[in-house]
A and B are shown apart, each in its own frame.
Chain A
Amino acid sequence: MVAGSTGRVVPAWRGAWLRVEGYWAWYRRYWRSNVYSTGLQPLLFLLAMGLGFGSQVQAGPATGGLSYVHYIAPALLVSAALQNAVGESTYPVLSGFKWQKDYLAVTATPVTPGQVLGGHLIWVALRLLLSGSVYALVAIPFGAWLNAGAVLVVLVGTVTGLACAAPVTALAATTYDEGVRFNAVFRFVVMPMTLFAGTFFPIGQIPLAVRWLAWISPLWHGNELARGVTLGGLSPAAALGHLAFLAALFAIGAVLARRYFYRRLVV
C-alpha cells in the first residue's frame, strides 16, 4: 500500500484516499464510541420533538398541513449533518495540527497538505452519508417519511454538511489556541442556526428585520432542499439557487482551507 520509497509524488486522489483509509482504520476500532453521532442524535430529536412535542402541535398552515413529525424529519437530518460536519472540522482538525500532530507526520511522507485536506473532506462526506443513511433507515418504523425521497434527503444532508465543513476547516487551520474560537462558532453560529433556520418552525414566524439571517444560513438552504425532495413544492429554479449557494460556500471554504493547510504544513 505504500507509494514506494523513491520520493515520487503520490497522485492527487490517491493521497487523499490513503488518508481516508487511515481514518477508516481508526473508525473500525472506535465506531462504538461514535454511535451517537452516527445516526442516533437525529433519531433522539425525532422522538422528542417530532413525536413528543409534535403530539402537542396541530397540523396547520405553519407545517404545510402535515403532521409535525413529517414536517421536521427531513430538516432534522440536515441539521444533524451540519452539526456533525462542523464538529468533525473543529477540534479533530486542530488536533491534527497541534495535539496528535498526524497532519505533520503525514506531510513528512510524499502526501501533500492539499491531499490531507482532501482526505479530511472526503472522510467527512463519508461519515455524513453513513450517519444520514442510518437515521433514514431507523426513522422508517417511526413513520417519519412520506415517500422514498428520504434517500435524496441523505444526499442533501451530505452536501449541506460539506458546505459548512470546508469553511470551518479553514478556520481550524488558522486556529492555534483552543480557547474561544470554536466555542464562539458553536454558540453564535451553529446553535442559533439550528434554532432559527427553519428546522423546527417556518422562518416566516421570524420578524422580517432579522429574517435575512436565516436566508444567508446554509442550514436554511439545506432544509428547503430536504423538504423539497420529500414533501414537494420546490421549483427547479429555487432548488438550483439553494444548491448554488451551498456549492459556493464549499468552494470558498475549500480554497481558503487549502491555502492555510499549505501555509501551516509547508515549512
Chain B
Amino acid sequence: MSGHHISSAKFLWTIGAALFVLTVITVAVTWIHIPGPWNVVVAILVALVKATIVALFFMNLYWDDKFNLMLLFLSIAFFILMIGITLLDTLYRDDPIPSF
C-alpha cells in the first residue's frame, strides 16, 4: 500500500480528458433517442464508468490501502439495500400514489 502515490501530470490530464470525452458521449447518446428504459441504463452506465475513473485515479483508490476501497463498496452496498427495500414497498402498494 502507498498512501502517497504521485501521479504524473500527463496521467492526470489524460484522466481529465477521458472524463470530458465521456461527458460528451453521455450527452450525445440522448440525440439518438434510445428507447426506454435503455436510455436510463446507458446514462447510468456512463456515469458509473466516470465515477469509477474519478474514484480510482483522482481519489487514488487504485494505489491506496484496500480498506478505503472496501468502505466505498460498503456504502454502495448499503445504498442498494436502502433502494431495494424502499422499492419493495413503494412499487407494490395497492394505492400506489399518495395524495402529495
Q: Do the two chains belong together in a single complex?
A: no
